Amino acid sequence: MSASLSRIYPLLTEAQIAARVQELGDEIARDYAGKDLVVIGLLNGVYPFFADLTRAIKLDMDVNFMRVASYGHGLESTGEVKILTDIDKSIRGRHALVVEDIVDTGLTLHKVRNLLLDREPASLRICTLLSKPSRRRVEVPVDYIGFSIEDHFVVGYGLDLEGKLRNLPYVGIYNPA
């Protein structure tokens, strides 16, 4: 981690993330009180945010995961979205909340959303920790956004650089030399 750490500039501290996650959790708990909620995380990037967010939502819920690949190994989206692992429970007639680390072009969530809507959930909403609105290539409705950020490549708190740096506890901007 040390070689790339020198190229990272802090963007969101652990404390800023924790405070915002709790606000999102409170808002989601209010919106889904009394409903049959299934929270679906998109692996791998979502893992720290998902663990923190679901524990901040003071409601009973089902948790489930999809594994999706969109970037391959570079810094740029390939535009091609693959479902590597699907959820393993039905969402028909239930309230589904998809949780993502970052919405960039929107292509990943566009595909995941259409796939899940075909299964006729009672409702489908999207929550993301980060959004880069200036990068959108397809419109996708995002209901809960932790932070809207400028067009930077960010790492940490789940977000990777070629598979690494996901375990950094904060979000930083990665600046290649």
In degrees and rounded to multiples of 5, residue 12 shows phi and psi of -130, 125
Whether 118 is catalytic: no
Out of 71, 144, 157, 174, the only residue in the binding site for Mg ion (CB under 5 A) is: 71
Q: Is residue 50 at the binding interface for Mg ion, with CB under 5 A as the rule?
A: no
Token pair recorded at residue 100: 């993502």
The least distance separating Mg ion from the CB of residue 18, rounded to whole angstroms, comes to 20
Which residue number places its CB atom closest to Mg ion? 45
End-to-end CA distance of the chain: give it in Å, rounded: 16
What residue ranges bind ligand 5GP (CB under 6 A)? 45, 70-71, 77, 100-108, 153-155, 159-160
Sheet of strand 144-148, all strands in order from the earlier edge strand to the far edge: 82-85, 62-69, 37-43, 95-103, 123-131, 144-148
- Of 104, 118, 143, 160, the active-site residue reads 104
Closest to Mg ion by CB, 35 vs 133, is: 133
Cβ distance to Mg ion smaller for residue 72 or 93:
72
160 counts as binding Mg ion under rule CB under 5 A: yes
C-beta closer to Mg ion: residue 52 or 101: 101
Nearest to 115 by CA among 78, 82, 76: 82
Nearest-angstrom CA–CA distance, 153 and 135: 11
Question: What positions carry a catalytic annotation?
Answer: 104
